[in-house]
A and B are shown apart, each in its own frame.
Chain A
């Protein structure tokens, strides 16, 4: 064992396996009695690319990593040309798994070229029965890719030509790697030196002990992966490249090298396919280790348990499956509907409300519609201490929140002079400070983890539609809108999106709990009832707002007006603000 490897993969047991003229360096972590997970790295990488993911998996599994021939501390074949064919890589893989897990099939995880190879492993006859599952990220099967291209060349439609050209442009480096000698010179020279900085700047890969010092030789040898396989396979793809094990496909949506369209027809090759997407760039083993570890764990556990597919039924299940979502004000209205929508997409839900019973109800029903786990927490969002305690509890017991929905809010109507300082304080405490506390505490955890996330703040159409009936409420919501925009700018560099949702009149119980300033209790009751009836007649369901929230997270939208009147007002606020001001003077029909 060398000191180097120990520092990157702590506690790894190393051994060397001789096969086909090369010596492979294999590292093992975790209890070898547990199911074996084999991690295969890509190009230009070595097994250390998994140094963040492997220890997380080692808590539950027997994790095996090896340097692909010619990479890291495995030796290179002689001669290089013809030494990197997929057949030989399959020999290596079989030699490794026969040593580390002779009796039980293994779970394969591949990234980039590791995934390309693993597609070969999982689609050839001789590995049948030796692979229990395969998690693929950022590396298509060359055979599927070949069929994908030929289908688009033979029957070109505008869309297909577009897809072809798009992927063709993304593959620029593949063409370069096919030129002789030059790539090797570049990698051993200036490119090799600058690569870590480039990764940090362009791919947002955090610095540290990765990439390793073997990078220039890894990259120079690895060029033969392309030269030995790409042309041959793309020209004559195998017609029988069907997967014989369940496959989980994890697609980073911001991948600069691979188009997500490549996987459009994957179901025809993979009978048991689970799809996942995440907003990230190519090097997800470095940038999103928590998410990968959780998806791999879930998938491996499910296949060990005899299930072939793990996915909730909701529309965005690919994106939110297994993610931790916290919703405030989840005891009713939009918050509750949002919790259900996330639950349906397979997310783990924390329902926060000051009404304990309502929060518990939301959590219970969330589990029923698809959340693998759901918890109820009681907290008043305007209470700084309570929120701090909540943030601490959530972080220690459930983990770092992936999606935060600051939704809790109260209504307050009445003219400016009728609104007392206490009224002002109350509405700002909940509507604005609640959001501030949420962003401050949970946003901070997100930013510190450094693996992306999303914050949704529920503002209102009142944020840009002035009204003489809602001065305090509109002020609080306008502040939320601006806070969201500023925060979005600040967190953009860290992969954390911020969206402000601006609903119009939505049929929720905000009307029956709203305060009407300047009138006695009886009149307040009457107005609550009347406004509840009017909102009921409008009958815009909170479920549609929840759908808009999920869509906003998926598309990372900044400001999302929901309901036609909110969209209309948003449009007018930009193009005819004077008309909007005229509307502001109207007396509400209460």
Chain B
């Protein structure tokens, strides 16, 4: 993404937009099939099967599913706890589906929050996430250091009365870079992460380390740099007394001087964005 928006760029973005839409379609399809008694493992398997049927062969990471208070990562101590368990879904329970398929070399990484029946707390959390989406975009356009943006998001969460739950992710990241992935016939994965994608992330980390930036957007010193052009999967995650909610989608950052073009969300036609528009 070293040039301004050109025809070639938009063609590339179209691929990413397509796979992101596909992933959100999958989330909506699987969410519609969830019933009381379904386990997290089953929900994860349903996502995987749905996407495999539609041609997904590689993953940035395999699908996750969290139910109940696991949506807020209550008592999470080690990363293994992110993997789906045999927790069963009950009426009124919140859930989050999180998947990162690679299709045609393009990566998506999405998070979909919902609940089985009505869950007013999660509705409120989702409604309040809108402010975060605006805040992040605004500050990226201002080219503020990522670490500072992270802290501003944190402050907004505290003001809203919520806990920062993306803090529980590896390195406490609110976002990470995604990129094109080379298609191989065999695509193994390691601890749920596709090896091709991990390779990309590692090489970014190496280059970034030399040039003073990092593909991980974290609260730590290594994120104390302005936004690096590229695709960032942004995932603010709110938690409130045993209920969590997040969205995850791709933010495009370019080196354009025009603020509008310097950063924008890859797609504005996503379930959570539509919901906010409907509520207005």
Point out the residues of chain A lying under 8 angstroms from B120, CB to CB. Answer: 368
B185 contacts partner chain A, Cβ-Cβ < 8 Å: no
A336 contacts partner chain B, Cβ-Cβ < 8 Å: yes
The SS class assigned to the B binding surface is helix
Which stretch in A69-77, A357-365, A463-471 binds the other chain? A357-365
CA distance A509 to B159 in the complex (A): 10
Q: Are B163 and A541 in contact (CB under 8 A)?
A: yes
Q: Are A509 and B158 in contact (CB under 8 A)?
A: yes
Known contacts A340-B241, A344-B241, A541-B163, A368 near B158 by CB under 8 Å: no
Known contacts A365-B124, A368-B121, A336 near B161 by CB under 8 Å: yes
Point out the residues of chain B lying under 8 angstroms from A368, CB to CB. Answer: 120-121, 124
Point out the residues of chain B lying under 8 angstroms from A362, CB to CB. Answer: 161
B72 to chain A, nearest CB (A): 11
**B window 147-173: CB within 8 A of A:** 158-161, 163
B56 to chain A, nearest CB (A): 37
A314 to chain B, nearest CB (A): 9
Q: Are B163 and A369 in contact (CB under 8 A)?
A: no
Q: Are A361 and B160 in contact (CB under 8 A)?
A: yes
Q: Are B240 and A365 in contact (CB under 8 A)?
A: yes
Total A-B contacts with CB atoms under 8 angstroms apart:
25
Point out the residues of chain A lying under 8 angstroms from B241, CB to CB. Answer: 340, 344, 369, 543
Known contacts A340-B241, A344-B241, A365 near B163 by CB under 8 Å: no
Point out the residues of chain B lying under 8 angstroms from A332, CB to CB. Answer: 158-159
The SS class assigned to the A binding surface is helix
Point out the residues of chain A lying under 8 angstroms from B240, CB to CB. Answer: 365, 369
Interface magnitude class on chain A: 10 to 19
Point out the residues of chain A lying under 8 angstroms from B219, CB to CB. Answer: 536
A177 to chain B, nearest CB (A): 50
Contact with A along B132-160 (1 / 0, CB 8 A): 00000000000000000000000000111
Point out the residues of chain A lying under 8 angstroms from B158, CB to CB. Answer: 332, 509
Out of B124, B159, B163, which one reaches A358, CB within 8 Å? B159
A549 to chain B, nearest CB (A): 15
Point out the residues of chain B lying under 8 angstroms from A361, CB to CB. Answer: 159-161
Interface magnitude class on chain B: 10 to 19
Point out the residues of chain A lying under 8 angstroms from B159, CB to CB. Answer: 332, 358, 361
Closest to A369 in B: B241
Point out the residues of chain A lying under 8 angstroms from B160, CB to CB. Answer: 361
A536 to chain B, nearest CB (A): 8
Q: Which of B120, B124, B241 has the most CB of A within 10 A?
A: B241
Q: Are A369 and B161 in contact (CB under 8 A)?
A: no
Point out the residues of chain B lying under 8 angstroms from A509, CB to CB. Answer: 158
**A window 539-554: CB within 8 A of B:** 541, 543
**A window 320-351: CB within 8 A of B:** 332, 336, 340, 344
Closest to A340 in B: B241
CA distance A32 to B163 in the complex (A): 51
**A window 418-452: CB within 8 A of B:** none
CA distance A128 to B135 in the complex (A): 61
CA distance A327 to B124 in the complex (A): 23
Closest to A536 in B: B219
CA distance A332 to B155 in the complex (A): 11
Q: Which of A336, A361, A365, A541 has the most CB of B within 10 A?
A: A365
A448 to chain B, nearest CB (A): 34
Q: Which of A332, A340, A368, A509 has the most CB of B within 10 A?
A: A368
CA distance A231 to B244 in the complex (A): 56
Chain A residues engaging chain B, CB cutoff 8 angstroms: 332, 336, 340, 344, 358, 361-362, 365, 368-369, 509, 536, 541, 543
A-B contact pairs, 17 of them (CB 8 A): A332-B159, A336-B161, A340-B241, A344-B241, A358-B159, A361-B159, A361-B160, A361-B161, A365-B161, A365-B240, A368-B121, A368-B124, A369-B240, A369-B241, A509-B158, A536-B219, A543-B163
Further 20 A-B residue pairs, CB within 8 A, beyond A332-B159, A369-B121: A332-B158, A340-B161, A340-B241, A344-B241, A358-B159, A361-B159, A361-B160, A361-B161, A362-B161, A365-B161, A368-B120, A368-B121, A368-B124, A369-B240, A369-B241, A509-B158, A536-B219, A541-B163, A543-B163, A543-B241
Chain B residues engaging chain A, CB cutoff 8 angstroms: 120-121, 124, 158-161, 163, 219, 240-241
Interchain residue pairs A-B with the least CB separation, the first 4: A365-B161, A368-B121, A361-B161, A369-B241
